[in-house]
A = this chain, B = another copy of it.
């Protein structure tokens, strides 16, 4: 089957610090026309870090679109020429104080492929060393370390409630089962 939607006209609506928005006039595979709203984002990384005590390292922070705080695994936006792995190491250190001896990529996924190109690269951190967080000026972040049981409780309470963190909790279940 032919799927391609060819852009005949692209209107840039907004170019921001986090997202750009454009509207594309497209030609569908059958020749008809339609419009597509497209958010462009630089991509992000997130880190699954499990302490020797088998606690998952998480951070609580305010999420303006939801008007409430969420508990999430450490994460951050890709910026400039930094690689996903460098960004993962930096965000883990900044947000939680932990340094990873080694990072290994475990997955990547588009978060909302219907309207956005944001991709999240997910890393697992090994050989953790605790240290002092170095949060950025406009980040208000609380470090929380949770057992798998506590993670399930936070999911029930909808304090953990985002795709990357819920994927990560499922992932930690599979690795701890294997140990």
Instruction: Name A's B-contacting residues (CB within 8 A).
Output: 1-5, 13-14, 16-19, 21, 23-24, 26, 28-30, 32, 34-41, 44, 60-66, 69-70, 72, 75, 77, 107-118, 120, 137-138, 140, 142, 155, 158, 161-164, 166-167, 170-171, 173-174
Contacts and interface: CB of A to CB of B under 8 A. Distances in A.
A1 to B, nearest CB: 5
Nearest to A14: B13
Nearest to A114: B63
A163 B161 contact: no
Main DSSP-derived SS at the A contact region: mixed
B21 A19 contact: yes
Nearest to A110: B162
Nearest to A1: B142
Nearest to A163: B163
28 contacts: A1-B60, A1-B142, A3-B62, A13-B13, A14-B21, A16-B37, A18-B115, A21-B21, A28-B140, A29-B140, A39-B65, A40-B65, A41-B115, A44-B114, A63-B110, A63-B113, A63-B114, A66-B110, A66-B113, A70-B113, A107-B166, A108-B158, A110-B163, A113-B161, A120-B163, A163-B164, A163-B167, A166-B167
A162 B116 CA distance: 11
A66 to B, nearest CB: 6
A171 B166 CA distance: 11
Contacts of A37: 16-19
Contacts of A109: 161-163, 166
Contacts of A23: 16
Contact of A66 (B30, B34, B62, B117): B117
